[in-house]
């Protein structure tokens, strides 16, 4: 890899930091951001860290019209001795390049992107909150910026990384959430963009989300787009069911996002010899397991959501209360172990942590 230096243009004054106990998800941003440009002539060029600021982009830039954009989400954590660390950042950039490929965006240099994050987070280390359950959320994203209204891959892009000190993603914190199974709309189909992390997947999820938000549901659970039968994912997290001692998660099928936390949960369960299978699972099977008294736990896993127990799953007019709406043992152990590794409180047997 060619050695590239990141140009620095630092702020003259720093913003006031929020109180860490009152942090919401994704509302406050740090003092600086990373930017790099792409043109067909120069490739990815001019990497720089600059004051956090609005972008000036032509109204005809292709991203505004045809949505050619991708993003990632990862976090920086503060350890008990005050060091900053990342969790499996190589997985995020590997996935970003897979999303790039699906959206016809030129690949980025994954190692260089991790270096950029390390440099940016080191500069903004004072922004990493230290209250329980808080972290510095890292949002790398790429947008197409060529001023052109033809439908074609753009010839210009910007790769940007912004940072946001965050608390829990759901207002419930780590307490069990309520999820509604979505029957009318679908999120993605195999062959579409479901496994890419692109804004359009999230835009198309809003309608369903909005229709249940006022009824106490944190999110909707998407079913497959063809038969409306098999469980897919929640949009902000992958899902797991513990049925009769075995944990089941929907197999990756091209329309489900391959979560970094999903992968980590599977590895931890294997490590603990807890049976875990990736396969198709229908909502009918989940319902039947509940009727038979063998649906022991349900939980979601994602970077923003961490491990979130699902206490209620509403499907048509039936509300399934799972594990008395309490956090189950497997979800609790996963949450404690994953966050323990992320915050440097417990051993990291898989070498997942990368120091800043």
CB contact at 8 A, 71 and 202: no
The C-alpha atoms of residue 265 and residue 276 are separated, in whole angstroms, by: 10
Q: How far is the CB of 198 from ligand COI (least distance, A)?
A: 11
In sequence order, what are the beta bridge partners of 231? 223
Q: Binding string, 73-112, against ligand COI, x = CB under 6 A?
A: x---------------------------------------
Q: How far is the CB of 295 from ligand COI (least distance, A)?
A: 25
Nearer of residues 303 and 342 to ligand COI, judged by Cβ: 303
Q: How far is the CB of 73 from ligand COI (least distance, A)?
A: 2
| Selected range binding ligand COI among 9-17, 152-160, 274-282, 300-308, rule: CB under 6 A | 300-308
| Selected range binding ligand COI among 56-64, 206-214, 278-286, 301-309, rule: CB under 6 A | 301-309
Q: Could you say which residues in the range 233-252 bind ligand COI, by CB under 6 A?
A: 236
Q: How far is CA 218 from the centre of its chain?
A: 16
Look at the block and give the residue holding tokens 């008990």: 80
- Of the candidates 75, 70, 25, the residue with the CA atom closest to the CA atom of residue 264: 75
Tokens linked to 186: 């679908």
Contact residue for ligand COI among 100, 135, 164, 303 (CB under 6 A): 303
In sequence order, what are the beta bridge partners of 158? 37, 143
| Selected range binding ligand COI among 217-225, 242-250, 289-297, 298-306, rule: CB under 6 A | 298-306
> Among the residues of 169-205, which ranges form H helices?
199-203
Residue 304 touches ligand COI, criterion: CB under 6 A: yes
Look at the block and give the residue holding tokens 């979505």: 182
Number of residues that bind ligand COI (CB under 6 A): 6
The C-alpha atoms of residue 86 and residue 340 are separated, in whole angstroms, by: 13
Q: Which residues contact 343 (CB under 8 A, 6 or more apart)?
A: 77, 78, 79, 80
Tell me which residue has its CB nearest to ligand COI.
Answer: 73
Residues engaged in binding ligand COI (CB under 6 A): 73, 202, 236, 302-304
């Amino acid at each position: 890899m060619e050695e590239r230096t990141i140009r620095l243009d630092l702020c003259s004054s720093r913003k006031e930091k929020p109180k860490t106990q009152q942090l919401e998800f994704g509302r406050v941003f740090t003092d600086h951001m990373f930017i790099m440009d792409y043109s067909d002539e120069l490739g990815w060029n001019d990497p720089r860290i600059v004051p956090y600021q609005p972008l000036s982009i032509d109204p005809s830039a292709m991203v505004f019209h045809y949505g050619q954009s991708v993003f990632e989400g990862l976090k920086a954590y503060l350890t008990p001795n005050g060091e900053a660390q990342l969790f499996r950042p190589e997985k995020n950039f590997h996935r970003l390049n897979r999303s790039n490929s699906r959206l016809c965006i030129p690949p980025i240099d994954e190692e260089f992107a991790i270096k950029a994050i390390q440099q940016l987070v080191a500069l903004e280390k004072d922004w990493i909150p230290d209250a329980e359950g808080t972290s510095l959320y890292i949002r790398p994203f790429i947008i197409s910026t060529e001023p052109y209204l033809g439908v074609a891959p753009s010839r210009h892009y910007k790769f940007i990384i912004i940072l946001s000190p965050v608390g829990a993603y759901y207002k419930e914190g780590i307490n069990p959430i309520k999820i509604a199974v979505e029957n009318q709309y679908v999120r993605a189909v195999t062959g579409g963009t479901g496994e890419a992390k692109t804004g359009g997947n999230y835009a198309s999820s809003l309608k369903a989300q909005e229709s249940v938000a006022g009824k106490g549901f944190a999110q909707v659970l998407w079913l497959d787009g063809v038969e409306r039968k098999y469980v897919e994912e929640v949009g902000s997290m992958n899902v797991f069911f513990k049925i009769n001692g075995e944990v089941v998660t929907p197999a990756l099928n091209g329309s489900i996002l391959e979560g970094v936390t999903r992968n980590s949960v599977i590895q931890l369960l294997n490590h603990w010899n807890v049976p875990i299978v990736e396969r198709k699972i229908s909502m009918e099977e989940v319902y039947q397991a509940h009727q038979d008294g063998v649906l022991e736990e349900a939980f979601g896993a994602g970077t923003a959501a961490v491990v979130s127990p699902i206490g209620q799953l509403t499907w048509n007019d039936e509300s399934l209360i799972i594990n008395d709406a309490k956090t189950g043992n497997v979800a609790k152990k996963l949450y404690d172990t994953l966050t323990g590794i992320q915050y440097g409180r417990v051993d990291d047997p898989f070498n997942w942590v990368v120091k800043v």
